[in-house]
Amino acid sequence: MKLLKAEGVGADCSSMAELALCEKVGIQGHDIVFSSNDTPYEEYKKAMELGALINLDDISMIEYLEKFGPLPDWICVRYNPGPLMKEGNDIIGKPEEAKYGMTRDQIFEAFRILRDKGVKHFGLHTMVVSNELDPNGLINTAKMMFELAVDVQKNVGINIEFLDFGGGIGLPYKPEQSFVDYNFLSNGIRNYYEEIMEPAGLGNIRMSFECGRAITGPYGYLVTTAIHHKHIWKEYIGVDACMANLMRPGMYGAYHHITVMGKENVPKDHLYDVAGSLCENCDKFAIDRPLPEINDGDVIVIHDAGAHGHSMGFNYNGKLRSAELLLHEDGSVTRIRRAETLDDLFATLDFSNL
């Protein structure tokens, strides 16, 4: 996070812990957008103490915040386009079935209320796709938000000062996929910006994406070791990692490329399920994956684990999360997080009466 801060990257936060991490590394002010839902006031309070941009998920949160004190001068609201937007995918789902955000009419009403209560600066947020590789879908999201900003100006009489297009920029997890063409993406957004925003006098506006996956994903690897073979109806390779270390394959059926170290050029003529040890059949890093012959002790590297790895980890079955190592440009390695221990796992239990 310190490296990202030095590069000018901000933070999209949704919890107290994420806000605390920002505070630890010195990210503050409008470099933080606090987007959460069903949020306790303590988290809003912490976000406001850090000067974060508050992004309201529901119109009722205006009254909720007022119970505890004055509203901040800057407030953003989250838009859910419902069936008007056809770009949802399996991860986000159809917008009309998602719990996030406000309807179009609620957006207008929320801004009227906020304006009348003295809020001075206004923003719009949305997120309707996740892991999207088609830049046209991302461009259309920006177009939708530009049009909404102009409609807010016409209907409410305020100028939107910042737009957050949410996350959604995808990664080419599969070898046959390609990275998003950022030049194509930025040019497409610029064209709609000049066509829609500038004629409305909204030509000086802050815009942002929440690109955590795109920034961190390709630069993290889960390194594990083959410890067991099983030959039943299928061929299984058991490894010493599990879903506690990387949840995406088990949770979403997501593909993560796998390399067997030292066998990069060996024919992939074996079909394996690569599995962890959780008491869940979905604890698999790969299903029917063509790989080189794997022997016990082989080091297996699972690619693109820099996003949704440790951050989605858990302790189900009492599993302990692994250490994290940072590889520097000069080849040196720093441990930035130690592995969990049983003492960590049991730290909240009271054994004094046993």
Residue 87 confidence (pLDDT) above 70: no
To the nearest whole number, what is the mean pLDDT of the chain? 93
Q: In what helix (H) or strand (E) does residue 226 lie, and over which residues does it extend? A: strand 222-231
Place 93 in a pLDDT band, splitting at 50, 70 and 90. low
Domains observed in the chain: 1-216 (3.20.20.10), 220-346 (2.40.37.10)
Strand order in the sheet with 32-35: 11-13, 32-35, 53-56, 74-78, 121-125, 160-164, 206-208
pLDDT digits (tens, 9 = 90+) for 217-259: 999 999 999 999 999 999 999 999 999 999 999 999 999 999 9
Q: Which residues contact 158 (CB under 8 A, 6 or more apart)?
A: 111, 115, 122, 152
Q: What percent of the chain has pLDDT over 70?
A: 96
Write down the pLDDT at residue 147. Answer: 97
pLDDT digits (tens, 9 = 90+) for 269-320: 999 999 999 999 999 999 999 999 999 999 999 999 999 888 888 999 999 9
Write down the pLDDT at residue 71. Answer: 95
Q: Count of residues for the chain?
A: 354
Looking at 92-101, 122-131, 145-154, 208-217, which range is the least confident one?
92-101
Burial class (CB in 10 A: 0-12, 13-18, 19+), 78: buried
Q: What pTM does this model have?
A: 0.89
